[in-house]
Structure formats: C-alpha cells, structure tokens
Structure 1
Amino acid sequence: MGDWFEQAQALELLEREHAIKAQLARTRPSGPSRIHCQDCEEPIPERRRALGGIVRCTPCESLSEQGKRR
C-alpha cells in the first residue's frame, strides 16, 4: 500500500524541483522601474519598483503571465 504513496511523493518532489529550476532560470528584469503601470496607468508601489525593471503593477503582471490583458 505504501508503494504507490512513495511513487506519488517522488513524482511531486520531481515536479517541484523542475518548477523551481524553471523559475530560477527566468531572466529577471533590470534597469529602472516605471512609476506607473504600462497597461493600466495605475501607480506601481515603491516596494515593487525597488526590485528594478518593473513595468506593470502586480494585477497586470499576473494577467500578463497568464497570457491575458486588462
């Protein structure tokens, strides 16, 4: 009975490792951040702009990553 559970755990661990590697391999934006979102023109919070190279507010960035536009 434990065999299928161990296989499921191993698969979950493998998928998690792949997801982490893919996230770390993504290029990080660089350069100055915009003050206002390029999609909705709402102000980008200072804490987010401090990351560098930020061009969208968090909601618009989430939509952009999902392939959607506001």
Structure 2
Amino acid sequence: MNNTIDRACALEQMMRDHALAKQLDKSDAQAPSAFECESCGEPIPEARRIAAMGCRYCIDCQQEYESHGQTRFA
C-alpha cells in the first residue's frame, strides 16, 4: 500500500514540475521586471519585481489581465 502511495506522490510531483517548467518557458521570466505598470503606470513594488521576474503589470492590473484576458488592455 505504501509503495502505491509513494509512486502516486512521485508521479504527481513529476507532473507538477513539468507544468511549472512549461509555464516558465511561456513567461518572460528571463526578462527584467518593469518598474512601472504597462497598463496603469503605477510603480511596481520591489517585492513583486523580485518574486515575479519579468512582470510587466502591477498586481491589480495582472489580476484584471488574468480575469479578462489581453483584450481588456488593447
């Protein structure tokens, strides 16, 4: 029984790692973070710029972008 759970946990971790790697490939994580939000022009806090490398939007605009898609920024 424990062996089955261990294999399931290992598989779950492998799938999580794969999904994170795919997301990182799609993001601008290698690009430097912007100092000002591209949408509203407000300053992006340093903690966000460090935590979300390559970020272009403040937290509020990023949430708006994720909720409604890029069409709201066009």
Match of 1:67 in 2: 68
Q: How well do the aligned residues superpose, as a CA RMSD in angstroms?
A: 2.5
* TM-score, normalising length: structure 1: 0.58
Instruction: Name the count of aligned residue pairs.
Output: 52
Distance in 1 of aligned mates of 2:28 and 2:64: 17
Distance in 1 of aligned mates of 2:41 and 2:27: 22
Distance in 2 of aligned mates of 1:62 and 1:29: 17
Query: Any stretches of 5+ residues in structure 2 without a counterpart?
Result: 1-11
Query: Any stretches of 5+ residues in structure 1 without a counterpart?
Result: 1-16
* TM-score, normalising length: structure 2: 0.55
List, as ranges, runs of 4+ consecutive aligned residues in structure 1 with deviation greater than 6 Å: none
Structure with greater Cα Rg = 1
Structure number with higher helix proportion: 2
